[in-house]
Structure 1
Amino acid sequence: MFSKWKSKKEAQPSKITTLEILAPVSGQAVSLTGVPDETFSGGHMGQGIAIEPSEGKLIAPFDGKIAHVVKSSHAVIIEHSSGLQLLLHIGMDTVSLKGSGFISHIASGDEVKAGQTLIEFDIASIQAAGYQTITPVIVTRNGEADPEVVCRYGSVTAGKDIILTVASGQ
């Protein structure tokens, strides 16, 4: 009889992890399909959302670790303790600015807290240089099955409004 209980327990379905992700930047949250770059709009980097920023400050959407900061400081990958990674990419083709207009406050390997400033960016100077500031927030592909991602669009405030709910099996 005891072995039957044990086998029932082992046969239970895998645990589902749900993570709510706060807006990393204030502005207008829109569908990725509106991003003028096929790499993002076509979902090739993963699922997510984009935000037209109203202020030039990118914050940590959750407690985590900085997995990578792009040398030009226009993009960062942050990893949650669950293993989920988010790519936060400020603007389109902004790598061409070679860091001009961006101030990074973090380095790869740093532990960060939700709400902590990661990168400051000058919206006016980026736009004056001819670049768009739309900021994709992407749940990166990690080689496993894609998680279920629910997006919430509209006006968002960094650190306050949930923009993504991500559910994945463990």
Structure 2
Amino acid sequence: MLSKLFGKSKHKTIEILAPLSGRLLPLSAVPDEAFAGKQRGDGIAIEPSLGKIIAPFDGKVSHLNDSNHSIIVEHSTGLKLQIHIGINTEALNGDGFRTHVIPGDTFNAGDTLIEFDRLKIEAAGCSSITPVVVANENEVKLLEHIILSGNVTGGDEVILKAGMKG
């Protein structure tokens, strides 16, 4: 059934690569109710093994938080994906985060977007678990979880597929 849905609107289907390396977790495992309860959108979380955010598809930077801990990337179909590095990491005021992009920049799948110091995040008492959620769910007709658990390598494995409305 899913292949039929995706087959009908192939140009509107987006394969989303793992934006960082680490262990996949359900959103319910995120120690923040807004993400765990999917109030910020559906998706998945990754407990990072490396401190590098990799572009999950070709696109552009739609938004970058001032403290560099959260980025929204946009695909040409309009899909917006938020990658929120850690929980309560805004309290670090950018310490331990280094961006390679600014809002409006375009990128290719696999490009490095942000580097972060996982150990610094954890030493500050913050969780490094990184939610990856659809920021504009109202424009997505279907979100398919391709891999639900295990370890993934950033930029190498498709973890989600999204089908856009229209």
Shifted more, 47-56 versus 148-157: the winner is: 148-157
How far the C-alpha of 1:95 sits from its partner, in A, is 0.3
Q: TM-score, normalised by structure 2?
A: 0.90
Contact 1:29 1:163 in 2 (8 A): no
Contact 2:13 2:163 in 1 (8 A): yes
Amino acid at match of 2:155: G
How far the C-alpha of 1:143 sits from its partner, in A, is 4.0
Q: TM-score, normalised by structure 1?
A: 0.87
Amino acid at match of 1:32: L
Contact 1:23 1:163 in 2 (8 A): yes
Amino acid at match of 1:147: K
Q: Distance in 2 between matches of 1:147 and 1:41?
A: 21
Q: Deviations over 1:16-44 (max 9, x none)?
A: 62211000000011110111111101111
Listed as ranges, the gaps of 5+ residues in structure 1 are 1-13
Aligned match of 1:134 = 129
Matched, 1:150 2:121: no
Instruction: Number of aligned residue pairs: give it.
Output: 156
How far the C-alpha of 1:167 sits from its partner, in A, is 1.7
Q: 1:92 aligns with which of 87, 91, 100?
A: 87
Amino acid at match of 2:37: G
SS at match of 2:119: helix
Matched, 1:159 2:134: no
Aligned match of 1:10 = none
Aligned match of 1:52 = 47
Matches within 5 A, 1:30-69: 30-69=25-64
Task: List 4+ stretches of structure 1 deviating above 2 A.
Answer: 14-17, 141-144
Larger Rg: 1
